[in-house]
Structure 1
Amino acid sequence: MTTITRNLPWFIKDLGVSIVGEKCYTSIVENLDFADVECLKYSLSKGLGLGIVVGGSIMKVPQLLLIVSARSARGLSLTAYVLETLSYAITLAYSYRNEFPFSTYGENLFLTIQNVIITLLIVHYNPPASLAARPSLQRTIVSVQFMLAFAVALVVLPPSTLAAFQIATLPLALFSKLPQIRQNHRAQSTGQLSAFAVISQVGGCLARLFTTATEVGDPIVSAGFALALALNVVLGLQMWIYWGKEEKDELEAGPIGVTDETQAQWQPPSHKVEVIVPPASPGRASPRPGNRRWSRKVD
């Protein structure tokens, strides 16, 4: 077997070396030395990291499709998405400027972009009270200006201030999930929240705890992923508890087949019984109480 692994095409070897390094590529791939625990852990971490980056590039796509297809952001908290986007952007800038391996933070780039789009859709379909009076285009422009200003700030901030911002992602992660958790609890429903996105975030946080401990060793980043994991587990439990709640509520709202336009006019059937009295025969008067007629029989 080692004869094959040591003679793989050059492009496969170059790709493997670029991912795990010359030493671990030789040990794990060429020599098949699976007793090399250090290289095995490092290779596993790299593989998981790349998988998370690829998964992060499509993680929020189902959520985007749900909003666009329904033309509604019902059940999604704007505050939650704004804070979550800030957290992703800060972690992205902090990791990049500290020159961490891209496989340990790359998904934050794609998640930030996707979250920005989702936030703009929420502002468009369900604007907050402070922006509701403005036209949709103006609301979008204001939101984009705010996001660009924050992105520029992350680029020019000194490293010490950026490290403080990274510490701030811990309460940001907490407050970014609490509004969504509270909204789900109040509505007894998860609305347009995507189950795929929630489950993917749970798996991603678990894997990130391993990759961060193996390749980075930054306790601040690890603490952020641990807190995010706990909060995403809560969201996952809510999705399981409230699954199918919307359909049940819709069926209880009115009779089947009544559209939204006529549902407001629909009233439950009355239990009153209307008695219809047939008209009297022609040429005969209906007898009235107190005016009874007597007739004599004629032979």
Structure 2
Amino acid sequence: MAEGSVLVEGSSFMDPFKGFLLTYFMPESCYDEFFLNFNLLDVPCLKILLSKGLGIGIILGSVMVKLPQIFKLMGSKSAEGLSFQTILLELLAITGTMAYSIHNKFPFSAWGEALFLMLQTIAIGFLIQRYGGNTSRGLLFIVVYVGLLILVLSPVTPLSVVTYLQASNMPAIIIGRLIQAVSNFRNGHTGQLSAISVFLLFAGSLARIFTSLQETGDTLMALTYVISSTCNGTIALQVLYYWNSSPEHKKKKKKKKSE
């Protein structure tokens, strides 16, 4: 009787644990391989587990990935060095990925960070306008973007249009990052660009190459993240190169030269 009760208690303990794993990390076949057959080196299941774990980690990280950038803007009350055109192109890429994933019913773990990146990027776009003396334009930007987003995510928009939007991500990412890179080069510093946000974005896009191939098998999605990683890596290298440079440092140099 006691043994039976122990078994029941053990199974009741395992049920929530099993449900959690099956919901977020692995299919039932992999659960059986790991916990019933004790085959902990099953390569296909390890790939699934790694992909799901990375995906959830990226989503959790995306909740705060651009917060350092937002706080830096609010603290300095300046958007020097940040390009609003880059923000618009970045939003185009994020929206394309999110709409394409939703229409194709990809798992949330494969694209969920796009939702949080979108919200934070909108905030940065508004702050750039606000600290540029155009608060009303910043509010208009939010209203117009939200309206377009609702339209793109609605059933009215055909899949062919959403696919084209996703395909346009690559030139949008390249042009957007190129604008930022050129701006950094001309200024001789990265302005109010947050190093933490830049490096987190670079790491996240690298990890997404693997997870998109593993979870969606979609070449277009994977290629988008390859391009994104390359572009984010370029900006990250500039952050390192201009690490000891700042707008104030450049101004002091100009003053000394004029003297």
Q: Deviations over 1:180-219 (max 9, x none)?
A: 0110000010001011111111111111010111111111
Q: Deviations over 1:245-296 (max 9, x none)?
A: 11533543559xxxxxxxxxxx96xxxxxxxxxxxxxxxxxxxxxxxxxxxx
TM-score between both structures, scaled by the size of structure 2: 0.88
Query: Is 1:110–2:108 an aligned residue pair?
Result: no
Structure 2 distance, partners of 1:29, 1:42, is 15
Residue 56 (structure 1) aligned to one of 48, 53, 62:
62
Q: Deviations over 1:75-132 (max 9, x none)?
A: 10000011101110111011011100100000000000100010011111125xxxx5
Q: How many residue pairs align between the two structures? A: 245
Structure 1 gap segments, 5+ residues each: 256-266, 269-299
Q: SS state of the match for residue 143, structure 1?
A: helix
Structure 1 distance, partners of 2:250, 2:182, is 19
Structure 2 gap segments, 5+ residues each: 1-6
Structure 1 distance, partners of 2:123, 2:61, is 17
Q: SS state of the match for residue 173, structure 1?
A: helix
Match of 1:89 in 2: 95
RMSD (CA atoms): 2.0
Query: Is 1:120–2:126 an aligned residue pair?
Result: yes
1:32 is displaced (CA, Å) by 3.6
1:35 is displaced (CA, Å) by 2.4
TM-score between both structures, scaled by the size of structure 1: 0.77
Query: Is 1:76–2:82 an aligned residue pair?
Result: yes
Q: Deviations over 1:227-259 (max 9, x none)?
A: 01001111011011111211533543559xxxx
The structure-2 alpha-carbon separation of the partners of 1:85 and 1:29, relative to structure 1 and needing over 3 Å to count, comes to: farther
Q: Which has the larger radius of gyration?
A: 1
Match of 1:173 in 2: 173
The structure-2 alpha-carbon separation of the partners of 1:249 and 1:159, relative to structure 1 and needing over 3 Å to count, comes to: same
Q: Deviations over 1:35-86 (max 9, x none)?
A: 2110110111000000000011110000000000111111100000111011
Structure 1 distance, partners of 2:102, 2:76, is 36
Match of 1:46 in 2: 52
Match of 1:231 in 2: 231
The structure-2 alpha-carbon separation of the partners of 1:233 and 1:38, relative to structure 1 and needing over 3 Å to count, comes to: same
1:30 is displaced (CA, Å) by 4.8
Structure 2 distance, partners of 1:195, 1:29, is 42
8 Å Cα contact 1:89/1:112 also seen in 2: yes
Q: SS state of the match for residue 64, structure 2?
A: coil
Q: State the one-letter code of the partner of 1:229.
A: S
The alignment-based identity, stated in percent, is 33
